[in-house]
A and B are shown apart, each in its own frame.
Chain A
């Protein structure tokens, strides 16, 4: 495993403040926000009319599904091209360039991974394309996964970031949840509620040695990141901030930094009554007395809440301020709320400040938290951790032969404590499969073990049943009375959040898609996370497919889960090698995975070769439990190729 520091060599953004870094910095420096009455669609029937829309007049048709996706792609390509230009990087070997795109719902229809593949094609990227979708922490999470791809040697250049578009359905969903402020949002200040926005931002990440070798510009050092799960509620954070605190602590550990080293925190700071106090509790519990001295501000007071793109855009803004020796204020601040930052930088323009290291946090629906640490100078990595990864349990729910639909099953029989109210079929199936896998691994989790057990999920779409429920409330009651519970289930990580909550998994969590084979990709990325750090002992990998049979007749429903652990158990099977590569580079993925497992990728060295759904991965695991051998699992989608080697050598 490569442990070179990872550096940011370029960045690009489009957001409510403008197109490109120069335009954005001009607004930031002047203390001008980008929130205005929305003109792109009618907000007449709503109680608020503000949005942080990208100022591209007259070109955006966003109220039909195709338009939303194309707008998202357009924003992404603009921002990504700026990042590439600023990094002065040419893709000498496009297969060694990866794209990790975080998005919540802006390009939902038609498959998130398809939109990302189009962005990759427009940029000339031919390496792996991973789409991370953990609602409002999507792009922060994507930055971390991008770093991991560099560490694993699966790419030499990574474009990581995210994009989302504000469309009427999303506006209506947040409105129905009662989260929108009638005035411009001002996190941590009186005047509760958030303002929604949109945009795209991307960073170019490279290993320091590569960046130095080509004389690349230096923006900042990407020092560390971490993920955590609240396992608490569909939309609200754990009120004590314990989930965010775990991600903050693990980020400091990953970056080799102490609380005293942190000079600035860019908070998620949405402005809602649920987020802001919980987040401050988390920051103050982790930074201790340092929290009293450190400025903590929310860039949402400038950009509004750019959903899945929020994290990367807020980091880009923080880095622009860093470059100018400043930190950004929280605008529109009138009167502090209880349980808010000691220093929210309540002023109207940026403040001069000496910052060496900063933290940037984002939280999300489904309880998915992500934090990154960034440093002004290259900081050495902490001593590498390299732990083996074993598979210790498997569970699956599959349709009966001849059927494409998962039959009815009693989730209450598997999870007696579950309140299954309002669960859609995806959430039920994923929770069932994960419960079966935990049972198969003979795990009963309690206390701290729950905090060290996470959930990584690969899936392709949110539940069609929930989509139909959401759309039917629009048809029957109108946008302004859209169903809030159905809306919360439209994010790709909704089933993940529900499974984590019902089964008490509070460790690192993510949800991603590459199309078919997403489950295997989730297994590979979980293996990287688990093997290279110490904030989790186990990661359950899940996959769920709930197919819209009217639109997609080729596939069938399925849910599967594998328990990965760094703690060997008797007769456990090793996940000996794993790799991702571009969609037309399966042979490279196989060679890398076999190389990592110290096997020659020739037939005589492999006992079996299987297509890499998570269910077939589970079947291979079951057969390896019975005797020694090696199985290579592979899968290819339009976004990525993936290969995984399972091995048992001690039987």
Chain B
């Protein structure tokens, strides 16, 4: 159990494709705990992927509980080796990332998504998510592929300063 530092660019691990986790063992469960603890340490944080805490493995946590743009809400979700099964109804919205200081950007994401992965007990889990929860899942899965929202913005006119400047 530990709150780990959240890495930001230009940390190389953020641009690497993460390795699959495979068997869900104690080490994987410890990673899940660290992800949850680190997410909880930042009140505004609704999701975190393992590469953001320096672990190049395919795992993330999200929790969109209470978010004003959330429609579906599965509470705290940890998924290992997630795969998008179905994605449709794209929509543009502005997002930022704890690992990209200062900037936000307009990014197209599917608003309806079926995602599959393994939970902390190694059980197969299929989630139907939409709206903000779908955006959060796609943002985290991008981290597992070494992709940041900066790689997804449609043009440089879609990149903006975040509210806090330095």
* A-B interaction: no
Partner-B contacts on A (CB < 8 A): none
Partner-A contacts on B (CB < 8 A): none
